């Protein structure tokens, strides 16, 4: 059986990481959450009080850190050097500023280099915004996951409530829309469906149904 590369892209909170993780497990592939890498840099920049609009400053910051994605019991743990930042990178101040960090060309070039290195061994499921278009243009399977903004906000809201986090559906909807707009309208590697990606609208599908579809598509390609 051939080991393939699977790219999963789509807008914020479309369920990419949830399904990517399960698909990776199913094939015993490596799972790489590229959003976590941009989040880690954003968290680091905020801690160091770097200017998020200053490309050179951010690039220097990125060169100071190793971002480690390590598979753990509850999915993936994220480290900056030896500091566990798995929870911190999901905080609202990071979420609401990550798209500013991710705009910069040189930051993206360095991230893409690291991501391609992670994928070198093959047998990988990678999720993000530009995986099918830029990071893994030769991926054997490219999926573009979609869902209505109402549905995505609702899912995130329920997730927050289950974790006991404070959550407001209206605000979530606005934040998701704003992040999608920034990610879609940026100049460098914007959020965009690759021409050869297969679109799956998950609005009325369960996680299991989405996973099953992707596994079927992957099975045809291994
Ligand atoms: O996937 P997640 O929502 O965690 O991504 C956080 C942010 O990181 C995105 O809103 C986007 O600004 C940036 N990102 C990106 N390219 C990727 C993955 C994420 O620009 N491949």
Look up the ipTM and state it. Answer: 0.99
Q: Ligand 1 test: best mutation among 11, 38, 40, 78, most atoms within 8 Å of CB?
A: 38
Superfamily holding 5-211: P-loop containing nucleotide triphosphate hydrolases (3.40.50.300)
What is the structure's pLDDT at 1?
83
pTM score, whole prediction: 0.97
Alpha-helix runs per DSSP H in the chain: 16-27, 34-47, 55-64, 92-95, 98-101, 105-118, 149-162, 169-185, 207-219
**C-alpha 34 to ligand 1 mean position (Å):** 7
Amino acid 191: pLDDT: 97
Confidence (pLDDT) at 74: 72
- Output the pLDDT for position 135: 98
Q: How many Å is the Cα radius of gyration of the chain?
A: 17
Residue nearest to atom 16 of ligand 1 (CA): 129
Closest among 37, 27, 25 to 130, alpha carbons compared = 37
**The predicted structure's pLDDT at residue 112:** 98
> For the chain (length 222 residues), average pLDDT per consecutive 10?
96 95 96 98 98 98 97 86 96 95 98 97 95 98 97 94 92 96 97 98 96 98 95
Q: Please tell me if the CB atom of residue 183 comes closer than 6 angstroms to any atom of ligand 1.
A: yes
Q: How far is 71 from 68, CA to CA, in rounded Å?
A: 10
d(CA 77, CA 100) in angstroms, rounded, equals 23
Which residue owns the Cα nearest ligand 1 atom 5? 35
d(CA 99, CA 70): 23
Return the residue whose CA atom lies nearest to atom 7 of ligand 1.
35
Does the CB atom of residue 35 touch ligand 1 within 6 A? yes
Check pocket membership of 39 for ligand 1, CB cut-off 6 A: yes
Write the residue with the smallest CA distance to atom 2 of ligand 1. Answer: 35
Q: Rounded distance, CA 48 to CA 219, Å?
A: 45
CB 189 within 8 A of CB 110: no
Domain boundaries, the chain: 5-211
Which pLDDT does position 73 carry in this prediction? Answer: 72
Pocket test for ligand 1, best of 21, 76, 183 (most atoms within 8 A of CB): 183
CA of 1 to the centre of ligand 1 (A): 31
């Amino acid at each position: 059986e051939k080991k393939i590369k699977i790219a999963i892209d789509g807008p914020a909170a479309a369920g990419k990481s949830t399904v990517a993780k399960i698909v990776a497990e199913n094939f015993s592939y490596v799972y790489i959450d590229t959003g976590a890498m941009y989040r880690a840099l954003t968290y680091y920049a905020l801690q160091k009080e770097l200017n998020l609009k200053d490309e050179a400053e951010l690039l220097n910051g990125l060169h100071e850190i190793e971002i480690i994605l390590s598979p753990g019991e509850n999915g993936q743990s994220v480290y900056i050097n030896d500091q566990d930042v798995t929870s911190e990178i999901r905080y609202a101040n990071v979420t609401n500023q990550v798209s500013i960090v991710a705009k910069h060309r040189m930051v993206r070039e360095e991230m893409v280099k690291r991501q391609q290195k992670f994928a070198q061994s093959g047998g990988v499921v990678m999720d993000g915004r530009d995986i099918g278009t830029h990071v893994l243009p030769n991926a054997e399977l490219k999926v573009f996951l979609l869902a209505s903004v109402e549905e995505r906000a609702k899912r995130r809201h329920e997730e927050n409530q289950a974790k006991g986090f404070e959550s407001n559906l209206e605000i979530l909807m606005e934040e998701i829309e704003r992040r999608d707009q920034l990610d879609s309208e940026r100049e460098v590697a914007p959020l965009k469906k690759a021409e050869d990606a297969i679109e799956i609208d998950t609005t009325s599908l369960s996680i299991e149904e989405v996973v099953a579809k992707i596994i079927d598509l992957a099975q045809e390609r291994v």
